[in-house]
Amino acid sequence: MAVYMEELDAFSYAQKIGEGAPVLIPAGSIEQHGPHMPLHVDTLLSRRMAGETAQRIGAIVAAPMAYGYKSQQRSGGGNHLPGTTSLDGALVTEIAKTLVLEFIRHGARAIGFVNGHFENYQFLYEGADLALRELGCAGEDVRVMLLSYWDFVDEATIGRLYPNGFTGWDLEHGGVLETSLMLHLHPEQVDMTKVVDAPPAELPNYDVLPVRPELTPDSGCLSSAAEATAEKGRILLETASAGMSEAITSEFGLISR
Ligand code: ZN
Ligand code: MN
């Protein structure tokens, strides 16, 4: 079943929207992911996570937000690094708001952002909030959800996949989570011989501007991907998409149409 909006013809798309299909908007980034992975990891993984979820619940996946908010040193290595190409927060907000309003114009009433880039979240939230505020009473039957896919990896799975301890999702930039998912979904885009196997980055518990580049590990990764495997990626995709499907079904099930 085709779930990706840009692969559908306009008439099939309109029919699905008319039948009440939720629209899931992947939100990614163009950001360095170490020497072993390409720049579009967040965009690719948010799109595939949304795709897997959409298959389960009969949703449509919107064309992704390919660029995201500025990479932060404590969660993405920082915006100073080569290749990392980011949008100002107001622009991410405006894009998120515009997309919500566009899908509502098409007839959608249930919209979810499937976030794949840590730093996007609050700007997606702001965009959704501004869209609903602008709609006012006209948006009374509209519901928007925000989900970051890693929040749907449960404790039991974390224990299984990180037997030597889990450092937190913020430090998972270019680490086991993303690398395993890429090994499962796009192994041809991963070069495990280039993984830098270093201990998790030790970053201060504050931010400083301009950044001090020496705080970011030379690899650009905040934790090691050495333990990444395609099998872990399969489990992560399965667990996160099942969890998101459940949350979306339960929230959007409340809508009376
Ligand atoms: Zn990433
Ligand atoms: Mn990211």
Domains of the chain: 5-252 (3.40.50.10310)
Provide the pLDDT for residue 256.
Answer: 39
Residue 233 in this model has a pLDDT that exceeds 50 = yes
**Euclidean distance between CA atoms 68 and 75, whole angstroms:** 13
Per-residue pLDDT, averaged over 74-95, amounts to 97
Average pLDDT, the chain: 96
- The residue-averaged pLDDT of 55-64 equals 97
Ligand lying nearest the CA atom of residue 225: 1
Cis peptide before 210 (omega within 30 of 0): yes
How far, in Å, from the CA of 119 to the mean position of ligand 2? 7
Contacts of 102 (CB under 8 A, 6+ apart): none
- What are 172-184's pLDDT values in tens digits? 999 999 999 999 9
Q: Give 33 Cα–ligand 2 centroid separation in angstroms.
A: 8
- To the nearest 10 degrees (0 to 180), the angle between helices 121-135 and 89-106 is 50
pLDDT value of position 137? 85
Predicted TM-score of the model (pTM):
0.96
pLDDT digits (tens, 9 = 90+) for 112-128: 999 999 999 999 999 99
257 — pLDDT class (breaks 50, 70, 90):
very low
Q: Which ligand is nearest to the CA of 78?
A: 2
Residue showing tokens 């949703």: 59
The mean pLDDT of 55-67, rounded to a whole number, is 97
Element (H, E) at 236: helix 230-252
Distance linking the first and last C-alpha atoms of the chain: 24
Catalytically active residues, by annotation = 31, 33, 42, 117, 119, 173, 178
More confident residue, 255 or 88: 88
Model confidence at 27: pLDDT above 80: yes
To which H or E segment does residue 248 belong? helix 230-252
**Alpha-carbon distance 23 to 107, whole Å?**
10
**Number of C-beta neighbours around residue 250 at 10 A:** 9
Q: List b or e across 175-194, with b for residues whose CB sees 16 or more CB atoms inside 10 angstroms.
A: bbbbbbbbbbbbeeebeeee
* CA angle, 165 then 206 then 223, to 5°: 30
Q: Would you give the DSSP letter of residue 25?
A: E
On the question of pLDDT at 161 being above 50, the answer is yes
The confidence band for 253, taking pLDDT boundaries of 50, 70 and 90, is confident
How confident is residue 139, by pLDDT bands cut at 50, 70 and 90?
Answer: confident
Higher pLDDT, residue 256 or 84: 84
- For 141-172, the DSSP string reads T-EEEEEEGGGGS-HHHHHHH-TT----GGGG
Residue 195 has pLDDT above 80, yes or no: yes
Compute the distance from residue 225 Cα to the ligand 1 centre, in Å. Answer: 12
pLDDT tens-digit readout, 141-154: 999 999 999 999 99
